Amino acid sequence: MNAYIDTLLSPLSTPRNLCYAALSCTFVYVIVNAIYQLAFSPLNTIPGPWYAAVSDFWLTTHVVRLQQCKIVQRLFDQYGPVVRVGPNKIVFRDITTMKRVYSVHKFDKSPYYKSLLTNNNDHAMTTLEHARHVARRKGYASHYTTANLSLFQPEMHHLTLKLVSILENLGGKSALDCLTLFRQLMVDVVCASSFDHEAGALANWTTESEDALSTAINDFPKRGILRSAVPTWAWKLVCSIPNKRLRQLCDSDKIMAEYVSDRVYETRSRLALRNAGQEDSDRLSLLRRLLEYRIADSPMSDEDVISECMGHLIAGSDTTSTTLSYLCWELSRRDDIVAKLREELDAAMPDNTAIPDISVLQKLPYLNAFLKEGFRLYGAAPSLLERVVPSSTGKKGEMNEVFDLMGYGLPSGTVVATQAWSMHREPSIFPSPESFLPERWLETVTSTEDLTRMNQHLMAFGTGTRVCGGQNLAQFMLRIVVAAIASNFTVVAPAETSEKSMDMRDSFVIFPASMKCKLAFLPRKH
């Protein structure tokens, strides 16, 4: 009997034959899968390139090239507002569908977000289930109210004036990478409000010392893209390469985790002193709120607190500094915008060395229009916001296995998404969509109806129930810093800072193609 079996298997017994068999099986699988995806899949009627429907590989190549936003936009231009970009992934550009997916049905996030784990653990952004996210969000939501953030204005103003002092001392004699400088400003601001801690990132910049925390924050999105695009074994191989810069990128998560862990220990010590009868501050940091927050009558674990704080540190620092850099680039090439901003700011800030309360800045029409146009074109996170069609999308108590997306039936498990990049460039909503035109947001220029439609399409901080919790902090700092810079400096771009160098790349968040934004800040002559 054994001899008979050996005879049957003998043709497959050599390594060469085994290799041929494996290749043949792979070839057959690829062909069968392609036929299924193109002819029999429930998604086969949705427009899109055939090679995208067959495999995720094509889209992944654009993700790795940091150009996913642009290729999706090209697909919309070619195929219309609904496009199939993968065997199980559909992207759309439609305001009604956007509301249904993100606000009405509140679909859970896709597994893609797990590539953004901090300290190998979930935080609010990577919590896929809507219900679990709601519980998590309650722990930090009160920290980001306008009233609470206003309590941290002394630190915001102090650090911004420190930035002004740095730029004045340089005197505009040479261009500097403001992408790095603004990131270190935001690291200090976020650490002040999140941990009641002076991170000293701006101080490191003035001494030309590398700030490890700021570098780690900058590296984290790229680390996430690599982790999501390559298998785990390949990621481990990359991180084993003995290259200092590569190791720094791989360790970015670890560097941030160590910093936040130290802040947790310090805050717990302060809480212990409070319980011992010492005076306590009326102002609560984000970290303290999380340490005192309870989910289902249980405190958050230190592991969860650390991961949550890391998520806020990354989101609050890197995104705002990028948008701020692009806004300064616009100031360097638009004298007309600078003149209008200064006219408004000079009236609101007679003493340009003093920054007014945020309530004053929030009432300046042209400053607000300038920022909104910045959010539209240079919102730091314009990428796909992936969600998963659940098994039930009907009314309460009514089962429905298919989700109707603009006339196409999508089965449960289908990944659906839209992106701010495309919503912000819809020509019927934003005429001349690639032009930076703050005036379009002014009530004296645009009708109330058109302004309403524009605001509905604006999703620079996400949309629906998972909208960015820290957007108020970003808006505080953008108003404060733009006001300070426009009032005190003339921004000049050297020849190396051009359309080509500032061309946007995306790794969920955007950054310039050159990875830098070199600008000079000449003190203004009053």
Q: Which residues are annotated as a binding site?
A: 468
Q: What are the binding residues for heme?
A: 468
Rounded to an integer, what distance in angstroms lies between the CA atom of residue 262 and that of residue 26?
50
Quote the CA–CA distance of 454 and 462 in Å, as a whole number.
15
Q: Which of 376, 249, 405, 378 is nearest to 322 (CA)?
A: 378
**What's the CA gap between 429 and 450, in Å, rounded?**
8
C-alpha–C-alpha distance, residues 383 and 57, integer Å: 18
The per-type count for the chain, helices as H runs and strands as E runs, is 23, 14
List, edge to edge, every strand of the sheet that includes 108-109: 82-86, 89-92, 415-417, 387-388, 108-109
Cα separation, 94 vs 316, whole angstroms: 28
Task: List the structure tokens of 149.
Answer: 């953030």
Return the CA Rg of the chain. 26
CA nearest 372: which of 98, 501, 364, 517?
364
Q: What six digits make up the tokens of 412? A: 């449960």
Q: Is residue 266 a contact partner of residue 274, using CB atoms and an 8 Å limit?
A: no
Is beta strand 89-92 parallel, antiparallel or unpaired with respect to 415-417? Answer: parallel
* Eight-class DSSP state of 338: H
Please, what sign has the CA dihedral across residues 58, 406, 411, 396?
A: positive
Q: What DSSP letter does each residue of 410-472 carry, written as one string? A: EETT-EEE-BHHHHTT-TTTSSSTTS--GGGG-TTTS-HHHHHHHHHH--BTB-GGG--TTHH
